[in-house]
Amino acid sequence: MKMKILNAQSKSLLLTTMVVGLLNVPSLSAAEKSWKDDTMLVSKQGDQTVVRPLEGDKILFKNADPQLAVEWAMANARTTVVQAGKYTINGTIDVPRPNLTLVVAEGAVIALAADSKLAAKIGSDAEDAKIVPLIYSKGLASFRCVLLGDLLFPKTAKKALPSQAYTLAFDGRGAGRSGFTLVATGTLSHGFLLLGTRPVQIPLLCPLLTEEDSTLLRLEDAGGNLGLIAGLAVDKNGKTGEVLNANSCSGIKIDTIIGQRSKRMLVYGRTPSQVLNIVSIGDPEQLVYYGRDSKSLWVQGGRLDRIDIWNSTLVGDDQLADFTRTINASKLPQGLPTISASATIEITLKNGIKKKFDKSFKLTL
């Protein structure tokens, strides 16, 4: 056998070719590998709810109870995506640890069973302080919740729910800087409760509400920035309860509050706040309510202060011709690692004038 001896130039060319070849080998960056490995998908499979990794069909966990499947996914991955399907839960979905992202995709419906015995209370024995949350986080920092699907309470529960029913309750008391991000664009029975939470980031809250007496967003001892906060009924001729109730908070900046024939657009007590726009679709029962002696159910403190409203748009029923709500959300999980959504509310007056309010958000895992 003859051996071929390479000269210095040939060796250099061979080495260069090997290096270029290595550089051209496809590979995942550390960041890409990290978010993919740390994302799980929850979906329906017959009568089971299954958890899979983002890539591949391997079933990591399955259970007939969707609540347990979602909790398992959150306990084992930083990002959980609940895919389209109907999920009937029997109890609260408890957030198990900090630094998590929970996404309920468009087409997903999480509903509380009619025979559920779900009940909870936080920090008070008063009957009106008892709560029933579909999702609950206690003292866990950096939780991001993006609800593009529907979260519903039963219309005819065997046992009447207490007055404080919430889609999500986030209790950040005692957790220091318990950063919280919330987005919701689906259909909800009830709104949200945030306690002792700062900084709050709610860029877009624009669901359709099935219950006309519910409060869309209740804050106690919270502070942060709110974007578009819109409480709209599933029926265009319907009405809604309170849009925003803020009590004993440290200061909140709000871009736009929109309500549809609301019981109260804004309720506040001992909370210095700034609202850039407040918009009523149809005649509200009350636009702003300032409760000097407003009662806090779960927190103490706060101080009397004023609220600044820069612009108001009041479209009474005698002026209103129509209004539309348009939601555009990224397809999941195809769109990951980016999650985005936008909402546009356009009001048409009987004189032909149109008023448009919109907001978008983008989150990258």
Residue 283 lies in a domain: yes
249-252: list long-range contacts, CB under 8 Å, 24+ apart. 249/219, 249/220, 249/221, 249/222, 249/223, 249/273, 249/302, 250/198, 250/221, 250/222, 250/223, 251/223, 252/200, 252/219, 252/222, 252/223, 252/224, 252/225, 252/226
Residue 8 lies in a domain: no
Residue 282 lies in a domain: yes
- Residues of the chain short of pLDDT 70, as ranges, are 1-33, 117-130, 156-163, 174-178, 270-272, 291-306
Asked if 171 contacts 138 with a C-beta cutoff of 8 angstroms, the reply is yes
Residue 100 lies in a domain: yes
Helix (H) / strand (E) containing 75 = helix 66-76
Residue 75 lies in a domain: no
Question: Domain range spanning residue 303?
Answer: 82-322
* DSSP letters spanning 311-337: EEEEE-TTTEEEEEEEEEE--TTTTTT
What are the Cα distances from residue 283, in Å, to 233, 244, 245, 263, 319? 14, 17, 19, 9, 10
The 10s digit of each residue's pLDDT in 263-277 is 988 887 766 678 889
Buried b / exposed e along 329-364 (16+ C-beta atoms within 10 A): bbebbeebbebebbbbbebbeeeeeeeebebebebe
pTM of the model: 0.85
Residue 298 lies in a domain: yes
What is the count of structural domains for the chain? 1
> What residue type is 328 in one-letter code?
N
Residue 111 lies in a domain: yes
The 10s digit of each residue's pLDDT in 225-247 is 899 999 999 999 999 999 998 87
* Tokens describing residue 244: 């925003």
Three-class SS state of 149: coil
The 10s digit of each residue's pLDDT in 157-203 is 444 455 578 999 988 776 655 678 999 999 999 999 988 877 889 99
Residue 328 lies in a domain: no
Distance of alpha carbon 323 from alpha carbon 119, whole angstroms: 37
